[in-house]
Structure 1
Amino acid sequence: MQQANEDLLSGDLLQRVDGRVGRITLNRPDAINALTPAMLHSLSAALTDWAENDRIEAVVLDGAGARGLCAGGDIRLIASMSAPEAARFWREEYAVDLQTSRFPKPYVAIMDGITMGGGVGISAHGSVRIVTERSRVAMPEVRIGLAPDVGGSLLLARAPGELGTHLGLTAGTMTGPDAILCGFADHYVNSAKLESLRAALGSSAEKPEAVVQGFAERPPAAPLEEHREWIDACYSSDSVPDILDRLASSGSDRAASARSDILAMSPTSVVVTLAAIRRADLLGSLDLVLEQDLRVSTALFARPDLAEGIRAQVVDKDRSPRWTPATIDEVRLHTVRSILGTDRLSIDHNISI
């Protein structure tokens, strides 16, 4: 097996030592670097080896191509899996997410361009998170009949006010400044400086965090900030129907648009997402939230909305999913409880949960 302390310069995940840093590049640019089981395995192996390698002072993660770091898990591949295969994929993915959060050295994630779903999972739990003017960060799972996973519900729960609830229920996209505001990122670097930043991380005698600070600049105003008033007022409820009523009566065009967005998503996913975000806030730790994510993802995999969402968004691209059930009012409390569940599930990837 290829060891992570050797350079690996071909395939879907590239790894090499560049001076004092380990470099990992997701290398499926035609698929916006969507994650596969093999990529997750290689990423985990690299982190395991480099954590104990005294030559390596930090790890830098980026994505090949101009479109983004990572669009998430390979949805077409997941849709083709059996239930046990999908559960195994998510166990391995969430274990890697946890591994990035516990990495004992600076883990520098360059979230340039599209960084969504699973891409958030392997970047936003790291210690040094960089966005640019091209960053588009989101947890868009409700569009395809899933719920925010990879620990994203915890990040959403910790966002200021009700911004995370708004983003989770609408599948909203954050700019780089929005991502910093919402706690998904730390530093804003102009994309034109990224190559110089990568070179400096490998060669500079400064600590990696100081190197990044030297390239970072004050971010522009976050677009979401100006909408805090109506977002906080409308989403401060544990009931999706109540949130929809508040959005309808707020008098804001943006609120009306958000309401339309929510109504276009999988009703089951929307209700489960709200409950998952509220519970993530109570659970309070990434390992417990990832347990919840595994439970929710495996349960939603067995429901018809995932296949229908992938058909409408990815396969046929008609953007007209036929959800089951079709409306929020038809989603039953016992269904939500069964999806969230209470049984503890094992995320076993050489990490104790």
Structure 2
Amino acid sequence: MKKVTQTFFDERILVTKHTALGRITIDHPRAIGALDRSMVEAFAHALEGLAVDTDVDTLLLDATDERGFCSGGDLRRLHGQITAGDLAGVDGFFRAEYRLNAAIAAFPHPVVAFANGVTMGGGVGLACHAPVRIVTETSRLAMPETRIGFTPDVGGTLLLANAPGHVGEYLALTSAEMDAADAIYAGFADHLVRGEDLGAVRDALETRADPSTPGELILLFDETPEPSALASARGWIDDAFSRGSVPEIRARLTELAEQADDGATHDLGAHTPAAALALLEQRPPLALAITLESVRRSRETNDLRAALEQEYRLMMWYVETQPDMVEGIRAHMIDKDRAPRWTLATDAEVTPALVAEAFDHKVTPLFP
């Protein structure tokens, strides 16, 4: 079969068919694949078409930008919609995005995702629900939502809930980044492949004969990752982040930092108690409390659609009732002063009733 590349509805989403391989490629290098509603809907349309295409038995998700697969949602656009009062537009984006996340997980054939470079937020939602997830030496994965005032979404709370021990709570609350080894350890990825070999993997998926399955084929390119720093930190992470509340987590991190005598650690990229404590000090107390509860509820249900329904409810609660998300985007993406002014300044101001209100917010279900 001749290789044919097309665009449907949005020129930033490319669709290619060659032999039995379907391929959806994000072509938005100006913003490392940042997603808006048009891109999401085009991606979903392509996915629907390939799902019923009898010539296709494998799907590849990748991007043209070597810097990363997808940096997440287009937060500048989201900020503009919220401040302009376009709640219908915001709702439409999140409904389309979360349904797309579920559709990728339910795709009837094997899905291979290249989570190389920057793969964060919405990028995790596209790549990490696939059954075969490839990272490279440049991969940087994260659910960075608490950094800008809200909570992990795109099914991320389920991925976080299923990470070893309480690593998920640590990653969710701090918004800490993962390299390739960490992503594999935490369950966000399956294989490490050298970046220079991704083209060969694509070619092999198009022309494969033996081994016949994508998973077996990728083992031919699989590299052994370096030891995961997350795995090395697992002891203190489980100790602190298994606690029942954000104040208890902070208190235990303070004790662990003092015991380790690493209170002078200023590298916020390090997996240490002192660095974790410093990161929590930068996050809004309300988002931390809701995020902790969200990850733990997703662990109990252990169902992607249930996680997405919960995340959608929380996201619209933030959009409709809370200024923190707009303020976080302003401080980090618009004005870039890195000085957000959170609504609630301390854990003590976050009441159980307010957290319950977020989880009880009324929305139209994503999956009726």
- TM bucket by the smaller chain? over 0.9
- Of 243-252 and 10-19, deviating more is 10-19
- Of 92-101 and 80-89, deviating more is 80-89
Paired residue for 1:293?
Answer: 311
Paired residue for 2:351?
Answer: 332
Find the partner of 1:283 among 290, 294, 301.
Answer: 301
Quote the Cα distance in structure 2 between the aligned partners of 1:238 and 1:27.
43
Q: Share of identical aligned residues, percent? A: 39
Find the partner of 2:108 among 104, 112, 117.
Answer: 104
Conserved in 2, the CA contact under 8 Å of 1:73 and 1:118?
A: yes
Quote the Cα distance in structure 2 between the aligned partners of 1:333 and 1:217.
46
Q: CA deviation at 1:345?
A: 3.5
Map 1:317-328; keep pairs closer than 5 Å. 317-328=336-347
Paired residue for 1:8?
Answer: 7
Q: CA deviation at 1:342?
A: 6.5
Matched residue type, 1:165? E
Quote the Cα distance in structure 1 between the aligned partners of 2:314 and 2:62.
28
Matched residue type, 2:202? R
Paired residue for 1:310?
Answer: 329
Paired residue for 1:216?
Answer: 222
Conserved in 2, the CA contact under 8 Å of 1:291 and 1:344?
A: no
Conserved in 1, the CA contact under 8 Å of 2:79 and 2:330?
A: no
Conserved in 1, the CA contact under 8 Å of 2:143 and 2:156?
A: yes
Answering whether residue 157 of structure 2 is matched by residue 153 of structure 1, we say yes
Superposed CA deviations along residues 262-281 of structure 1, whole A, max 9, x for unmatched, are 11012111110001011111
TM-score, length of structure 2 as denominator length: 0.91
Paired residue for 1:262?
Answer: 280
Q: CA deviation at 1:6?
A: 6.8
SS of residue matched to 1:33: coil
SS of residue matched to 1:94: helix
Conserved in 1, the CA contact under 8 Å of 2:5 and 2:14?
A: no
- Of 206-215 and 290-299, deviating more is 206-215
Find the partner of 2:291 among 248, 270, 273.
Answer: 273
Quote the Cα distance in structure 1 between the aligned partners of 2:362 and 2:78.
23
SS of residue matched to 2:127: coil
Answering whether residue 72 of structure 2 is matched by residue 72 of structure 1, we say yes
Conserved in 1, the CA contact under 8 Å of 2:37 and 2:92?
A: no
Can you give the 5+ residue segments of structure 2 that lack an aligned partner in the other structure? 263-271
Paired residue for 2:181?
Answer: 177
Map 1:118-129; keep pairs closer than 5 Å. 118-129=122-133
Matched residue type, 1:226? S
Quote the Cα distance in structure 1 between the aligned partners of 2:125 and 2:274.
30
- Of 97-106 and 319-328, deviating more is 319-328
How many residue pairs get aligned? The number is: 345
Q: CA deviation at 1:344?
A: 6.4
SS of residue matched to 1:14: strand
Paired residue for 2:265?
Answer: none
Find the partner of 1:195 among 199, 222, 235.
Answer: 199
Quote the Cα distance in structure 1 between the aligned partners of 2:6 and 2:217.
24
Superposed CA deviations along residues 233-266 of structure 1, whole A, max 9, x for unmatched, are 0111120000000000012432011111011012
Paired residue for 2:30?
Answer: 30
Q: CA deviation at 1:177?
A: 1.1
Conserved in 1, the CA contact under 8 Å of 2:314 and 2:361?
A: no
Matched residue type, 1:255? P
Superposed CA deviations along residues 140-166 of structure 1, whole A, max 9, x for unmatched, are 000111100011011111100111100
TM-score, length of structure 1 as denominator length: 0.94
Matched residue type, 2:242? S
Paired residue for 1:94?
Answer: 98
C-alpha RMSD of the superposition: 1.5
Quote the Cα distance in structure 1 between the aligned partners of 2:341 and 2:307.
30
Q: CA deviation at 1:343?
A: 4.8
Matched residue type, 1:7? Q
Q: CA deviation at 1:18?
A: 2.5
Conserved in 1, the CA contact under 8 Å of 2:141 and 2:179?
A: yes
Conserved in 2, the CA contact under 8 Å of 1:267 and 1:325?
A: yes
Matched residue type, 2:48? T
Matched residue type, 1:40? V
Quote the Cα distance in structure 2 between the aligned partners of 1:231 and 1:189.
28
Matched residue type, 2:213? K
Quote the Cα distance in structure 1 between the aligned partners of 2:241 and 2:93.
33
Quote the Cα distance in structure 1 between the aligned partners of 2:100 and 2:143.
18
Quote the Cα distance in structure 1 between the aligned partners of 2:66 and 2:145.
23
Q: CA deviation at 1:7?
A: 2.2
SS of residue matched to 2:365: coil
Paired residue for 1:50?
Answer: 50
